[in-house]
């Protein structure tokens, strides 16, 4: 390190821009604030350090920097990592972003070796590397939370495999279903969400490092090597593409939106189910809040908040798509705007899943109310039609006969199962005593005993299937 160029201890040095060589006046203070990203991109600091260490290791391997430089860089980065983790690192707005903040600190700590780190690299491939590394690890956390939520829902399905509730279409009572079956429907939705994340993870997990500013670099770099050091599955093959697309982040926001869409549908059901009119479930008090004016109130705040938050994640997706659409190849500063939507989607999905894991474990179906509600609205009418079909009546005729039967019951203000046998027989001679089996809710759900049907039998079969899947996931993690 030559003393005359070592101004790293000079407090003013930090204010001097890394790129200010050709500029005749300092950047406007407001412009600086407007264009800086350090306030939000500092959360990628650990990924930034990992990326830099891989780059430096590669530079030493191909002989662009010395082993001594690499040792110094490693030592400096170790200290910086600690400073950041302990909260003593001094982030400076003047240094724009996480990359320049860390690089400046490195140079202050180790001198010229720090200034060599950026050889054969640009912030353009650096930032693309950081966001991919950061997103990759957050995807893993989200996948774990989805798996946890699935476990909770499978457990609920097992507990309540034969609890009967009304199934709705058009929000009208349609046919009886089982509570367990309803829970398992969400397990399937979250499974597709999980698959989507694991699938897009492959496209996140590719290395842009080495693309440099846009065209590659004149140094004899080894991109495969840095990719391997960072655990990337592959290298992005075109340097222009590597620094300039954020499609993987758009995919993530899209997958996050679908997770929130599923959560929001579940939220809507919980809100309705908890209302006095339905009284289908109890939610643990710790997931509800009171009203400041109405002492009797217990509000389903967590599901409502989640339903509301789905909107902001859709917004994150739209922000990303719109931010990208007008950008020519290769890097544009617009891309800095990818961070906040991606971070917001990550935070929102993670927090929401966390709340739902706890809350869904505490949901208690009110069995009697569910049964009673399932009884209203002639939910076994289809079963009566199927009964007639089994006795030789064509389905359309059966449909008509049952329609008349429902009218009769409705005039008498009773359920189909309350109609005397001779009344039922006046609609069809093929009706016999055993019809009451199919008119009962239990008979109705038990009869739907095929793959994917609502019968308690099938719910138990699906629960067993899921328990196997969960066990094998846990075995893989152990
Ligand atoms: N903070 C910038 C971003 O997030 C880093 C890349 C800046 N590159 C540049 N050529 N100005 O995109």
Print the SS3 string covering the chain: CCHHHCCCCCHHHHHCCCCHHHCCCCCCHHHHHHHCCHHHHHHHHHHHHHHHHHHHHHHHHCCCCCHHHHHHHHHHHHHHHHHHHHCCCCCCHHHCCHHHHHHHHHHHHHCHHHHHCCCCCCHHHHHHHHHHHHHHHHHHHHHHHHHHHHHHHHHHHHHCCCCEEEEEECCEEEEEEEHHHHHHHHHHHHHHHHHHHHHHHHHHCEECCCCCCCCCCCCCCCHHHHHHHCCCCEECCCHHHHHHCCHHHHHHHHHHHHHHHHHHHHHHHHHHHHCCCCCCEECCHHHCECCCCCCCCCECHHHHHHHHHHHHHHHHHHHHHHHHHCCCCCCCHHHHHHHHHHHHHHHHHHHHHHHHHHHHHHCEECHHHHHHHHHCCCCCHHHHHHHHHHCCCCHHHHHHHHHHHHHHHHHHCCCHHHCCHHHHHHHCCCCCCCHHHHHCHHHHHHHCCCCCCCCHHHHHHHHHHHHHHHHHHHHHHC
In this structure, of 76-90, 277-291, 458-472, the range with the lowest mean pLDDT score is 277-291
Choice among 3-17, 157-171, 372-386 with the minimum mean pLDDT = 3-17
Which residue has better confidence, 289 or 284?
A: 284
- 6 pLDDT band, cuts 50/70/90, is very low
331 lines ligand 1 (CB under 6 A): yes
Q: Which of 290-299, 308-317, 327-336 has the lowest mean pLDDT?
A: 290-299
Ligand 1 centroid distance, CA of 230 (Å):
21
Please work out whether the CB of residue 343 comes within 6 Å of at least one atom of ligand 1.
no
Percentage of the chain modeled with pLDDT above 90: 90
> Mean pLDDT throughout 27-41?
95
**What pLDDT was estimated at residue 377?**
84
Confidence of residue 9 (pLDDT cuts 50, 70, 90): very low
**Span 25-48, average pLDDT:** 95
More confident residue, 329 or 297: 329
Give nearest CA residue, ligand 1 atom 7: 123
> What pLDDT does 5 receive?
44
- Give the pLDDT of residue 22: 80
Tell me the average pLDDT across 261-286. 95
pLDDT at 19: 78
Which residues are known to be catalytic? 170, 291
Is residue 1 pLDDT above 80, yes or no? no
- Mean pLDDT, the chain, as a whole number? 94
The CB of 37 under 6 Å from ligand 1? The reply is yes
Q: What is the mean pLDDT of residues 88-103?
A: 97
Is residue 428 lining ligand 1, measured as CB closer than 6 Å? no
> How many A from CA of 127 to the centre of ligand 1?
7
State pLDDT tens for residues 131-152. Answer: 999 999 999 999 999 999 999 9
Q: Name the band, by pLDDT with cuts 50, 70 and 90, for residue 291.
A: confident
Tell if the pTM clears 0.85, that is, is over it.
yes
Residues 170-218: tens digit of each pLDDT: 999 999 999 999 999 999 999 999 999 999 999 999 999 999 999 999 9
Answer yes or no: is the C-beta of 126 below 6 A from any ligand 1 atom.
no
Which one of 33, 127, 211, 249 would you pick to mutate in the ligand 1 pocket, going by the greatest count of ligand atoms within 8 A of its CB? Answer: 127
pLDDT of residue 20: 78
- Mean pLDDT to the nearest integer, 104-119: 98
Check residue 15 and give its pLDDT: 59
What number does the ligand 1 atom closest to the CA of 213 have?
Answer: 10
Q: Can you tell me the mean pLDDT for 52-74?
A: 98
What integer pLDDT is reported at residue 389 of this predicted model? Answer: 96
Our answer on whether the CB atom of 335 is closer than 6 Å to any ligand 1 atom is yes
Q: What pLDDT digit, counting tens, does each position of 344-394 carry?
A: 999 999 999 999 999 999 999 999 999 999 998 899 999 999 999 999 999
In tens, the pLDDT along 441-462 reads: 999 999 999 999 999 999 999 9
Per-residue pLDDT for 319 more than 80? yes
């Amino acid at each position: 390190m030559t003393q005359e160029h070592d101004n790293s201890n000079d407090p003013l040095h930090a204010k001097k821009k890394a790129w200010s060589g050709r500029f005749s006046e300092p950047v406007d203070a407001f412009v600086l604030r407007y264009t800086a990203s350090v306030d939000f991109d500092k959360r990628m600091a650990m990924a930034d350090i990992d990326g830099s260490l891989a780059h430096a290791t590669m530079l030493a391997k191909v002989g662009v920097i010395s082993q001594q430089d690499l040792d110094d860089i490693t030592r400096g980065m170790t200290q910086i990592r600690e400073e950041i983790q302990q909260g003593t690192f001094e982030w400076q707005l003047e240094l724009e972003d996480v990359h320049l903040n860390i690089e400046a600190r490195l140079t202050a700590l180790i001198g010229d070796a720090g200034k060599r780190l950026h050889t054969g690299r640009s912030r353009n491939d650096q930032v693309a590397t950081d966001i991919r590394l950061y997103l990759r690890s957050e995807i893993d956390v989200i996948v774990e939370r989805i798996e946890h939520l699935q476990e909770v829902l499978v457990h609920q399905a097992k507990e309540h495999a034969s609890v009967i509730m009304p199934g709705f279409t058009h929000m009208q009572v349609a046919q009886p279903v089982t509570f367990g079956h309803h829970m398992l429907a969400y397990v399937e939705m979250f499974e597709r969400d999980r698959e989507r994340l694991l699938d897009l993870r492959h496209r996140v997990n590719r290395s842009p490092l080495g693309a440099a500013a846009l065209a590659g670099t004149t140094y004899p770099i080894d991109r495969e090597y840095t990719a391997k050091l960072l655990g990337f599955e592959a290298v992005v093959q075109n340097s222009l593409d590597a620094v300039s697309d954020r499609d993987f982040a758009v995919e993530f926001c899209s997958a996050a939106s679908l997770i929130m869409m599923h959560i929001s549908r579940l939220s809507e059901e919980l809100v309705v189910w908890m209302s006095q009119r339905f009284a289908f479930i109890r939610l643990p008090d710790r997931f509800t809040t009171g009203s400041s004016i109405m002492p009797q109130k217990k509000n389903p705040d967590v599901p409502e908040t989640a339903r509301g938050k789905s909107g902001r994640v859709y917004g994150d997706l739209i922000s990303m798509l719109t931010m990208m659409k007008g950008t020519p190849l290769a890097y544009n500063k617009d891309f800095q705007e990818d961070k906040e939507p991606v971070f917001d989607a990550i935070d929102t999905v993670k927090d929401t899943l966390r709340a739902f894991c706890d809350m869904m474990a505490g949901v208690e179906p009110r069995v009697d109310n569910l049964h009673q509600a399932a009884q209203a609205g002639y939910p076994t009418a289809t079963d009566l039609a199927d009964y007639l079909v089994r006795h030789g009546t064509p389905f359309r005729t059966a449909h008509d006969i049952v329609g008349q039967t429902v009218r009769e019951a409705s005039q008498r203000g009773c359920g189909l199962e309350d109609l005397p046998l001779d009344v039922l027989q006046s609609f069809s001679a093929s009706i016999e005593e055993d019809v009451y089996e199919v008119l009962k809710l239990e008979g109705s759900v038990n009869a739907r005993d095929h793959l994917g049907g609502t019968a308690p039998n099938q719910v138990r079969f699906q629960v067993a299937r899921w328990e196997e899947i969960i066990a094998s996931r846990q075995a893989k993690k152990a």
